[in-house]
């Protein structure tokens, strides 16, 4: 193994970054509780004009934990959280941890069949979602083991003046939950805490399962990634160590979604476990993002390249003062050199003294494990490993390490490496491998190189995947859904270039003999997709073909279709 840590050039104008950290050994909740004990009156988070202190936050988590205990949640049980970035999501996330259960984090905009899959894959007994998503859960509930569905509402966490405005606008569009529906409303749920008097706190070890996030892994098949307390606590300490300009009380704009490792690990847990302040953005748009940066004078922001592309075009940012920024992070997809130059100029023109810093990671390591130093940039690089993170480049699929500058598969090792793929031991065995150096390495399926200073360069994905607005989309999953329709003989899904999202999804379909390839059929298939595919992964277009190109072994030649689309867009 190359001794990367010994030559990591982190030291510089922003202070010294340690090569090794002594990690907190408690649970995620205990890490936050420790901060609350030291700084009870500091603000933990802001939500739509309302601030909550660490003291009140911990009290809220304990109330929620007692209510969970009352409805029967026990150590090791799975609780599905399908919420945007709102206070109820934070209370529930840490309460699940406090009672020794496991938080199963899913996208609230997931299609019904996806929700059913996530509930069954995790064997969740309880789920919490917003009132506006109740009907999706209710339609598939009978196909799962879920006993209780808790319904939260954004209005429950708003101050009176903002609540009145919300009910006149957003609130009016939400379909009413039927009288007597078999659910527990959030306020009723919290009242159940009065029936639990003791024994709701469960001692959990740092290596115990705590969170399930979802990813396609290296095969493109959706799998639950089991992450531990230590994975998240270590990430929080690493992020702060790599950003010595951070001070307790600094504000992080928490707009990245909490069902994603980037949003949950960096924007939420890193801040709350290290004394930061989260500015929660429930509905993520470039406009809401920009407004909150300026309103709260945020010190740290994180986003995907498409977000920064959108901010460049927002007239509302004209004249905005961004001198408050200490850190601007980009992840989820490659940041082009051209976009970096444009956004760095945008930051400079708005009085910021920092530049955008690119990072890299996988959900198998929670999220980021590599970051560009604030004082040292290499064009095309995704940065340097965090403290205690090791990266090496090997001949794909092997443990044969390659020389500096030679392209191979990126491998990761360190304290944020996942426990396993839930219920997929064979996949776990392929992805997590222990080498002669004694470390357990994640085989990412990503291709890259490393230079002699330890800077890593991302070169592409060995696995077939579309990245759209920072979301990982696996073509095979969408093809399976299309192929399941009675009118479809065969399909192929690819990513096509898009100036805003980087890529968008396009489907090519060969229909069954005798089925008309007309607009009516396209509408039918689009509706079929809407019922089974999350909004962010929906095809922007379906093109009918009499034949799909094939490889020599008879597989659909998706690369030929990709080349066709590139020529069209050239």
Report the relative pairing of strands 300-303 and 251-254 from DSSP bridges.
Answer: parallel
Least confident of 328-337, 460-469, 556-565: 460-469
Would you say residue 121 lies in a domain?
yes
pLDDT (0 to 100) of residue 555: 62
428 with 476, same domain? Answer: no
* pLDDT score for 336: 77
Q: Are 268 and 278 in contact (CB under 8 A)?
A: yes
Instruction: Domain of residue 135: give its range.
Output: 48-204
Most distant CA atoms of the chain, gap in Å:
72
218 pLDDT band, cuts 50/70/90, is: low
What is the Cα–Cα distance from 90 to 72, expressed in whole angstroms? Answer: 20
Question: What is the domain count for the chain?
Answer: 3
Q: How far is CA 539 from CA 4, 18, 110, 529, 531, in A?
A: 42, 45, 15, 8, 13
pLDDT band at 13 (very low <50, low <70, confident <90, very high): very low
**What pLDDT was estimated at residue 421?**
96
Question: Which helix (H) or strand (E) segment is 165 a member of?
Answer: helix 160-168
The one-character DSSP state at 268 is I
DSSP string for 518-546: SHHHHHHHHHHHHHHS-GGG--SEEEE-S
410 and 420 Cβ atoms separated by less than 8 Å? no
CB 296 within 8 A of CB 320: no
Q: Hey, which residues does 187 pair with through a beta bridge?
A: none
Highest mean pLDDT of the ranges 304-308, 373-377, 438-442, 535-539: 438-442
Does residue 4 carry a pLDDT above 50? no
Strand partners, 128: 81, 150
Rounded Cα distance, 564 and 560, in Å: 6
Of residues 93 and 18, the one with the higher pLDDT is 93
Per-residue pLDDT, averaged over 481-505, amounts to 86
Region 230-258: mean pLDDT is: 96
Work out the pLDDT band at 6, boundaries 50, 70, 90. Answer: very low
Q: Are residues 195 and 169 in the same domain?
A: yes
Min mean pLDDT across 62-66, 173-177, 362-366 is at 173-177
Q: How far is CA 421 from CA 104, 144, 209, 227, in A?
A: 13, 21, 11, 9
Q: Which tokens hold the place of 357?
A: 């810093």
Do 416 and 483 fall within a single domain?
A: no
Can you tell me the distance from the alpha carbon of 384 to that of 8, in angstroms, rounded to the nearest whole number? 7
Co-location of 173 and 100 in the same domain = yes
* Selected residue with higher pLDDT from 287 and 301: 301
61 inside domain: yes
Both 153 and 52 in one domain: the answer is yes
Model pLDDT for residues 319-356, shown as the tens digit of each residue = 899 999 999 999 877 787 888 989 999 999 999 999 99
Does 554 share its domain with 415?
A: no
Parallel/antiparallel/unpaired status of strands 471-473 and 126-130: unpaired
Q: Does residue 271 contact residue 298 with C-beta atoms inside 8 Å?
A: no
* Beta carbons of 54 and 46 less than 8 angstroms apart: no
53 and 78, same structural domain?
Answer: yes
pLDDT at 551 over 70: no
What CATH number did the domain enclosing 445 receive? 2.30.38.10
Residue 473 has pLDDT above 80, yes or no: yes
Q: State whether the Cα torsion 171-177-178-184 is positive or negative.
A: negative
| Domain termination residue (choose one: 455, 482, 503) | 455
Rounded to whole angstroms, the Cα distance separating 500 from 104 reads 31
Is the same domain home to 440 and 531? Answer: no
Distances (CA, A) of 84 to 37, 95, 105, 280, 486: 28, 17, 10, 9, 35
Q: Which of 75-84, 97-106, 288-297 has the lowest mean pLDDT?
A: 288-297
Question: Angle at the Cα of 381 (from 377 to 383), degrees rounded to 5?
Answer: 70
Mean pLDDT of the chain: 90
DSSP string, 89-149: HHHHHHHHHHTT-EEEE--TT--HHHHHHHHHHHT-SEEEEEGGGHHHHHHHGGGS---EE
Residue whose entry in the numeric block shows the structure tokens 């500091």: 42
103 and 174 co-located in one domain: yes
Given a cut of 80, whether residue 9 has pLDDT beyond it is no
On whether residue 243 sits in a domain, the answer given is: no
Bridge partners of residue 502, in order along the sequence: 498
Give the per-residue pLDDT at 434: 97
Is 77 in contact with 53 (CB distance < 8 Å)? no
pLDDT score for 457: 94
Q: Are 97 and 29 in contact (CB under 8 A)?
A: yes
The conformation of residue 386, written as its DSSP 8-state character, comes to P
Question: Is 434 exposed, middle or buried, given 0-12, 13-18 or 19+ CB atoms closer than 10 A?
Answer: exposed
CATH code at position 505 = 3.30.300.30
Alpha-helical (H) ranges within 432-555 are 475-483, 519-532
Structural domain includes residue 400: yes
Residue that finishes a domain, picked among 398, 428, 455? 455
**Do 134 and 182 fall into the same domain?**
yes
Question: What is the pTM (predicted TM-score) of this model?
Answer: 0.84
Query: What does DSSP assign to residue 470?
Result: T
Residue 181 sits in the same domain as residue 130? yes
Question: What is the distance between the alpha carbons of residues 324 and 309, in angstroms, rounded to a whole number?
Answer: 20
- Give the end-to-end CA distance of the chain in Å, rounded to a whole number: 43
Residue 330 to residue 470: CA distance in whole angstroms? 10
**DSSP for 323-376, written as a single string:** TT-SEEEE-SS---HHHHHHHHHHHHHTT----EEEEEE-GGGSSEEEE--TT-
Structure tokens at 128: 């919490």
The better pLDDT of the pair 462, 385 is held by 385
Q: Does 149 map to a domain?
A: yes
Within a domain: 92:
yes
Place of tokens 């029936």: 195
Range of lowest pLDDT (80-94, 272-286, 456-470, 538-552): 456-470
Predicted confidence band at 166 (pLDDT cuts at 50, 70, 90)? low
Lookup: tokens for 77: 């049980």
Beta pairing partners, 421: 225
Strand partners, 425: none
CA–CA distance, 77 with 139 (Å, rounded to integer): 23
* Final residue before a domain boundary, out of 455, 480, 501: 455
CATH of the domain at 184: 3.40.50.980
Please give the average per-residue pLDDT across 29-43, as a whole number. Answer: 98
User: Among candidates 91, 533, 419, which has minimal Cα distance to 278?
Assistant: 91
Q: Choose among 468, 471, 501: nearest CA to 260.
A: 471
The answer to whether residues 500 and 422 belong to one domain is no
The CA–CA distances, whole Å, from 491 to 505, 535, 555 equal: 13, 19, 11
Please indicate, yes or no, if residue 410 is contained in any of the structural domains: yes
Note whether residue 556 is domain-resident: yes
């Amino acid at each position: 193994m190359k001794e990367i840590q010994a030559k990591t050039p982190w030291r510089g104008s922003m202070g010294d970054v340690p090569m090794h950290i002594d990690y907190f050994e408690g649970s995620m909740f205990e890490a936050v509780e420790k901060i609350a004990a030291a700084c009870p009156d500091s603000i933990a988070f802001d939500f739509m004009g309302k601030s909550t202190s660490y003291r009140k936050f911990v009290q809220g988590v304990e109330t929620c934990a007692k209510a969970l205990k009352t409805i029967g949640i026990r150590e090791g049980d799975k609780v599905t959280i399908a919420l945007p970035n709102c206070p109820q999501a934070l209370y529930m996330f840490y309460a699940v941890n406090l009672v020794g259960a496991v938080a199963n984090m899913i996208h609230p905009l997931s299609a019904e069949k996806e929700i059913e899959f996530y509930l069954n894959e995790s064997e969740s007994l309880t789920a919490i979602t917003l009132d506006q998503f109740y009907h999706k859960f209710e339609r598939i509930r009978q196909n799962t083991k879920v006993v209780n569905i808790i319904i939260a509402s954004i209005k429950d966490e708003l101050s009176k003046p903002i609540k009145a405005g919300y009910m006149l606008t957003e609130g009016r569009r939400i379909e009413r939950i039927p009288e007597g529906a078999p659910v527990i409303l959030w306020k009723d749920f919290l009242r159940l805490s009065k029936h639990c008097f003791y024994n709701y706190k469960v001692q959990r070890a740092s290596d115990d399962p705590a969170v399930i996030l979802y990813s396609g892994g290296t095969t493109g098949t959706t799998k639950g990634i089991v992450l531990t307390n230590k994975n998240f606590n270590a990430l929080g300490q690493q992020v702060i160590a790599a950003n010595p300009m951070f001070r307790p009380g600094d504000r992080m704009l928490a707009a990245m979604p909490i069902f994603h490792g980037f949003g949950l690990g960096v924007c939420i847990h890193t801040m709350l476990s290290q004394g930061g302040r989260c500015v929660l953005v429930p509905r993520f748009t470039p406009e809401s993002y920009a407004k909150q940066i300026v309103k709260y004078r945020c010190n740290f922001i994180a986003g995907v390249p498409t977000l920064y592309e959108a901010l460049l075009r927002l007239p509302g940012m004209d004249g905005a003062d961004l001198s408050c920024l200490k850190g601007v992070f980009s992840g989820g997809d490659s940041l082009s050199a051209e976009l970096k130059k444009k956004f760095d100029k945008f930051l400079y023109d708005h009085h910021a003294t920092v530049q955008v810093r690119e990072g890299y990671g996988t959900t198998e390591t929670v999220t980021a494990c590599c970051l560009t130093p604030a004082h040292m940039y290499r064009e095309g690089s995704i940065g340097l490993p965090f403290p205690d993170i090791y990266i090496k480049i090997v001949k794909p699929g092997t443990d044969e390490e390659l020389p500096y500058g030679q392209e191979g598969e990126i491998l990761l090792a360190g304290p944020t490496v996942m426990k396993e793929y839930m219920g997929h031991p064979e996949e776990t065995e392929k992805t997590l491998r222990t080498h002669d150096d004694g470390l357990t390495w994640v085989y990412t399926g990503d291709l890259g190189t490393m230079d002699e200073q330890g800077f890593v360069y991302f070169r592409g994905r060995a696995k077939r995947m579309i990245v759209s607005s920072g979301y990982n989309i696996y073509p095979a999953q969408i093809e399976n859904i299309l192929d399941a329709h009675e009118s479809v003989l065969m399909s192929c899904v690819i990513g096509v270039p898009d100036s805003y999202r980087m890529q968008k999804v396009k489907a090519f379909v060969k229909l069954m003999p005798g089925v008309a390839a007309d607009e009516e059929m396209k509408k039918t298939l689009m509706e079929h997709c809407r019922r089974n595919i999350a909004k962010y992964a929906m095809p922007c277009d379906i093109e009918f073909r009499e034949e799909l190109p094939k490889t020599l072994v008879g597989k659909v030649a998706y690369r030929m279709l990709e080349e066709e689309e590139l020529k069209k867009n050239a």
